[in-house]
Structure 1
Amino acid sequence: MTHQQNAHPTTSSSHSRQPIRAAAGSFLGTLIEWFDFYIYATASALIFSHVFFPGSSQFLGTLSSFATLAVGFLARPLGGIVFGHLGDRFGRKYSLILTLLLMGVSTVGIGLLPSYEQVGILAPILLVLLRICQGIAVGGEWGGAVLLASEHAPEGKRSFYASFAQLGSPAGLVLSLMVFRFISEMPEEAMYAWGWRLPFIGSVVLLLLAFVIRSRVNESPEFEAQAKAAKTEASPIRLVLRDSWPLVLLVMGACTIGISSAYFTNTFMIAYATQYLGIKSSMILECLSIVAVVQLINQPIAAWLADRVGAGRFLLITSGLSLFVPYLMFSLVSTGQSLMIILGISLTKVFSSAFYAVIAGYVVSVFPVSQRYSGISLAYQGCGALIGGTTPMIGTLIAGQSAGQWWPLALFYTALALISFVCVLLLMRRREAFAVAALR
């Protein structure tokens, strides 16, 4: 009897720590996934045109590298469908372990690839295949990480806890930029020959750490309750497409600025600053590293604030302000001074990263528990495929057509923010209509 009395507080204490473990596991898991994803994005801006597309002009080489980046985004909806189905049927935790393993194998494989000079056209083909595997892994990761954190969250703190999954993106960016900041200081011959491979191969250490931490997190209590209550016969993704496709489209549009901003400022801006403004790659990488730290600090504060003022209202404010900030950003970046570059990009990222931190927790409640992993994954990854992966390519084309003038690029960013603003507004009205109908 005494033993049972002593055991109960331990069990209770362990249960009370689960929200924190879930948030930490989501953060560390997405950190690893996004570190792997961002080192590819950074390498596509600085390295891959030389290693896998030699002989092309700088413009065509960069465009080809960004095209392989976009392929990963196109694969993300497939990952959302596959792992969303697994997560809705067998559990969030089970699905997330598989995404980690797939990302780790794919990323290390890229680091071991031969160059175009060694095996010819086979090199970029293998690069694309492994990039597709990366995209599938990230496509399954995001939805599960958001759900694991938000479904463990205490009452009234869903935005804050879900933001920890979003926090993995800027943390992974900081880590990837720090690594490439070091690599960019290497002699050029060594950097292109083997230096760029180090972060890809070394990511296996982070993978093992994330695997251990995530394995200690319990399954989502909301999923377990739903699984005990009923067993759905139809495929979750089929139910989403049959019953909730308008919501999928609205959530896709709502996520636009949160996703595209990251690849506009963190990937395209590297190529734009080095090619059109004559800024050294080491300098722009250092500036972006500082901006990423600003984002890392800003996101949890934004999520905490959104839980108090209302997530929908907060998303409208931040996407609305994002309509105007790119003009100031480009004016400051064009000075070529590091302090002005940091200030300009930071002003833009303060609003877009605040939006990014909150949108995850907001869209979780749009779909029922039994379809939630599939629904939010399909919407978010569909947006990533259409908007995120093509943003650096579109930016490159606009810059090429306008001879590097910045105002057409600022207009492009404004259009992305406008899509999110309108879709969030429509989601809010839809939720209000359902709430009124429920009271009748």
Structure 2
Amino acid sequence: MSIGSITLQATIPLEDEYDVLVFGGGPAGAVAAIQAAREGMRTALVERTGMLGGTATVGGVNFPGLFHTRLGRQVIRGIGWEAIEETVRRGGAALPDFTVPYPPRKHPRHHILVNRFVYASVWDDAVRGAGVRLRLHESPAVVRKSERGGYEVVLAGKTGLSAVYGKTAIDCTGDANVAALLGLPLEQSERRQPGTMMYHMTGYRLEDVDREALRTLAAEAAAAGDIRHTDHSPPGEGEPPFWRELRSGGGNCNHIVRIDGSDSRSKAEADLQGRAALMRIYRLLRRVPGCADLSIDDFGAECGIRDTNRIVGEARVTGEDYKTGRLWPDAVCYSYYPIDLHLPDDNGIDIRPLADGVVATIPYGALVPRNSEWLLAAGRIVSGDAEAHSAYRVQASSMATGQAAGAAAAIAVRSGVPVRDVDVEELRATLRRHGAIVPDAREGGTS
């Protein structure tokens, strides 16, 4: 029911003009902006929060991966890997021994745990060092095609509205917000994956925790509705609920179910539910003998969202494409993470590793929204079905698609052609020149 309307007739003068506008400062957007700027483009990076790094920093998922296969072959490099190496140099991470194969389903052994502060500072320096105009605490409110090509964008900031122009744009928002504002077709999973509120606990010693008391208290709390089975991971054989969480100090262990996260209202609800879940965990565990001094010493500023919108692209990656390592004729990067479907209403995960020797590729067409002339997409919103998306949505793969989008936007501007007409061989050559690993259908392997 309508309760009235507000009519705005104010004219917002253009504040600035750019060759490339990138929206979203996560792993895809930061890399895309750096890549475009390194190709000589006047580039702006618009980020709604005050920190770069996306899910690794704001969401607390501080283990970007995977860059290597189970058997140690590196399949993603380039600008994202530069940031990892710089984080290591600054003492904010240590690299695992990638030459030691891990057992199937044990891919976290190749995760790289990064210190969130150091990692965020690395992205600050890399983005600004490339000459990118960094626009924090701003979000796109209106995006429309310009009569001269490209897009006119109204940004909402802390003090009101401003307007900018971009010859091209890259949607790295994670939710396809820019594509949605342009009215481009989007796809959603029939049943969306749950979110997770990341956290870390301290103030206890595992050997002092009374396992049987934990089992009894957890059962009583569940029966009373004070705890939910999605607040913890499936316990190991013979273990009580929350034992894995105590053993690991918390982390990627809960599911915030039946949430959206693609718009402000649903994202706020996800954050509220995430903190409520964490409070349930905190209250229960502090009642367990051995955990009286337990505290939450760190948690995500936002609930981590896995699954909202994806573009409908010129090409679409299916689960079968991904699992069989289809080598697309316009492939621009690899992706190696396993199929990783977090169950929508449960606390389990359907993990299906790729077979040894199989590495998935992502085609350029999956980055090009259908009916788009000057917009590209990167990160978890590239075109694919739910199964493939569960794998390529992760940070390393998002970095790779971000670099491809940044290079393609620069070529489109320089050549004066729509993004769908970018020469793929020129794009591949550009990516190689900037250190990326690029699939090559003619050679049948890594170039």
Fold-level match, TM-score > 0.5? no
User: Whose helix proportion is higher, 1 or 2?
Assistant: 1
When normalised by structure 1's length, the TM-score is 0.28
Q: Which of structures 1 and 2 has the larger relative contact order (alpha carbons within 8 angstroms, sep 6+)?
A: 1
User: Whose strand proportion is higher, 1 or 2?
Assistant: 2
